[in-house]
Structure formats: C-alpha cells, structure tokens
Amino acid sequence: MNVNKPIRPGLTLAVLTGLNLFNYLDRYVLSAVLDPIKREFGLTDGQAGRVATVFMFGYFVTSPVFGWLGDRAPRRWLVAAGVFVWSLGTVLTGWAAGFGLLLLFRVLVGVGEASYATISPAWIADLYPQAKRNNALTIFYVAIPVGSALGVLLGSQISAHWDWRHAFYWAGGPGLGLALLALFLREPPRGAMDNLAAPATKPSWRDYRELLRRPAYLLVVGGYVAYTFGLGAFANWGPTFLTRMHGVEPTKAGLFFGGTLVVAGLLSTFVGGFAATAWQRHNHAGYAWMLGLSVLAAVPVSLAAFLTGNLVWAMVLLAMAMLLLFLSTGPVNTLILETAPANMRAGAGALSIFSIHLFGDLWSTEIVGHLSDALGNLRRGVMILPAALAVCAALWLWLAVRTQRAGLTAVRKIT
C-alpha cells in the first residue's frame, strides 16, 4: 500500500453515501409522477406498475454480473460507471416519446444501479472492522429513506410547477458529473479488516454453491425477499393510495409521504442500526432479533393503516409503519455480508439483490396494480403487503432463534 496516499475510510464512506442518496432519489422520483405518466400515455394501473417492474428487471438480472466483477475488478471504475449509466437513464426517461421508450430507459437505470448497489457495501465492509462495520453500513443506508423521500418530494414539486418530464431531468442531471468522484477514491484489499490468515483469493463457482448451503445466509435473504416485496410496492403506491382512498391532492400526498419518509427513515435507520450494534455486543443474535421484532410489530400497524377510513389515523399509522420497517435497514445488510466469506461479499450482495427483486418487488408493484384493477379498489390491492411482511417476520425470527441456540450450544461446549 502506498503510504503517501492513505486510504481514508471516512471520506470514502461519505462519498459512497452521497452517491447512494442520488441512487434512491433517481429511483423514487417515479412514484411521485406515476399518475401524470399514466394519464399522458393512457395506461392502466397494471401498466403503470410495469414501469417499476422493468427497472427491477434491469437491476436484478445484471446484479450477478456486477457481483462477479466486484470480487475481482477495481471497484471504483465499476461504481463510477454505474452512477453515470443510471443518471443517463434517468435523464432519458424525461425524453421518452412513448411507453416503449419509457420502459427501455427505466431498464437502463436499473443496470446502472445494479453495478453500484452490489459493489459499494462490500467496499465499505473492507474499510471497517467487524465492531464498527454495522454502524458504517447504517450510515451508508441512511441514504435510502432520505434519497427516496427527496425523489418523491422533488418529483411532486417539479411536476406541479413544470411537468413530470422535468422531474427526471433535474433528478438525473447531477449524477452525470458526480460519477467522477468515485474515480478519486482508493480501495483496500478484500478482507482487509477480517484478520485473515492469508490474503483473500478470488472465489470459485464452488464457493458460490457453498454460500447457497449456508442456513443463516438463506434465512436473511429469504426474509429480505418478503420484506422487499412489501416495502417496494408500499413505496410506489403510497402517495397514490392517499390520493385515491382519502382524496388527498397528489402534491400534498407526495409532500406527506416524502416528508414522513425522510424523518422516519433517517431516525429509524440510525436508531435501528446503532441499537442493533449495541445489542450485538451483548447478544450474538442481536442483529437478527432487531430484524424479526421490528417487522413483526409493523404487520398490524400497516394493516390498520390500509383499513382505516380516517385520514388522520391513516397518516399516523403509515408513519408508524415506516418507523418500524426502517429499523432493520442497517442490520439486514450487515448480516448479508457477514454470513458470507470475506472474498465473496460482492457476490453475496449480488445474489441477495437478484433474489429479493426476482421474487420480491419485481412483481409486487404490478401485482398490487392488477389486484386494484381486478377488485376495483386500491385498498383491497394493497392488503397483500402486510401478509408479505408477516412472512418476513417469521423467517427473521427463525434466524434469531437459530442463532441464539447456536450460541448457547457453543458456550455449553466451552464450559
């Protein structure tokens, strides 16, 4: 390592977190302008949901490719390319002259985000030791609620003052220049903070097969599939739900949903991440307990939010559901990385991304739309979301119990 150019973990984390904010801003600006897009192109709810579906298709299909590259190639080049491609796709979305082009450009956004999302967490994991890793990843993932909320807020405001196309121009434009920031960052060796007996080697296909036999990894990802199914559709249909079911003006619905997402996401991601780190110091199943219990509590709250006919209660319960769901943001991503070998963390992250989107929110937004069309009511369509969260809670609680028992068994053997 060149001592004249030291690796600066804090600076790298700050840059990657800032880029992650734009990542989610570009992704969720769509939810704020879904109704104007639907009207201009004459779409059904199912077709409107497909705009989010094709983004996920580009995202999850290419993530294994970037996971494979991320365990082998220089990460700063892959990250910079990803930021540039998703920003270009966002800008081009505003230029789409028809529904087909709109879908094509959203696929391009997904491809760019796949490169960034699979590689950045593994890079951060190599910057910090295990005791500090979850806190660092928590800071990185705070960009999810903040960026998502900014996407909703900016999208609704810009669309109200100009039109929906300008929302994509303003969202995607900055990323075309910010992509260059990643090229100035320095990378640590893979597994640098894991006290490995020997330098990390490039993983083989057999290593990936072995990863899929690890129960802890499978339970984390399995729960994450159900979580993403519910939360993905929830985020895309939330503002529209308030407009349709409670008569809230689209701009006001976007302001409420986006503002609540910022406050709830920022607060809960920090509280959940740092509390889970403290819990983990005293209980080796602390991360898993945080996951299972927070989502379990969100199930009845989200159900009540969708069922109530009172606007005030709907808003209060939606905010409570967001607070509970974002508690798991940091710990779940930490567990995905720490249940995998140090030399294949990008690959483990890629397999997780592939799974949670193929079986999760790739379909959930469109499924809710089709249920709304078939049942004649969006309220009925969103009822599938609390059910998905219940499945998530069951899997993560199973992981917590299993981890707890494994630790007790190890203690008994020592004593």
pLDDT value, residue 400: 93
pLDDT value, residue 6: 60
User: Tens digits of per-residue pLDDT, 297-328?
Assistant: 999 999 999 999 899 999 999 999 989 998 99
What CA–CA distance (Å, rounded) separates 395 from 289? 11
What CA–CA distance (Å, rounded) separates 183 from 186? 8
Dihedral, CA of residue 293, residue 295, residue 301 and residue 302, to nearest 10: -170
Cβ atoms of 138 and 350 closer than 8 Å:
no
Domain 9-181+206-414 - what CATH class?
mainly alpha
Please give the share of the chain, as a percent, with pLDDT higher than 90: 16
pLDDT value, residue 33: 81
Tokens of 390: 């219940």
What CA–CA distance (Å, rounded) separates 298 from 152? 22
Q: Across 59-213, where does the E strand assignment appear?
A: none
pLDDT value, residue 327: 92
Per-residue exposure over 371-396, b if at least 16 CB sit within 10 Å of its own CB, e if not = bbbeeeebbebbbebbebbbbbbbbb
What CA–CA distance (Å, rounded) separates 29 from 164? 9
Domain regions of the chain by residue span: 9-181+206-414
What CA–CA distance (Å, rounded) separates 341 from 325? 28
Of 104, 155, 115, 410, nearest to 284 (Cα)?
410
pLDDT value, residue 220: 94
Give pLDDT < 70 ranges for the chain.
1-7, 190-204, 407-415
pLDDT value, residue 179: 80
Tokens of 199: 């330098």
User: Tens digits of per-residue pLDDT, 205-224?
Assistant: 777 777 888 889 999 999 99
pLDDT value, residue 204: 67
pLDDT value, residue 2: 40
Cα 270-64-85 angle, rounded to 5 deg: 75
Cβ atoms of 243 and 111 closer than 8 Å:
no
pLDDT value, residue 1: 38
User: Tens digits of per-residue pLDDT, 118-141?
Assistant: 888 888 888 888 778 888 888 888
Of 133, 298, 312, nearest to 231 (Cα)?
298
Q: Residue 233 CB: number of other CB atoms within 10 A?
A: 27
pLDDT value, residue 414: 32
124: enclosing H helix or E strand: helix 99-125
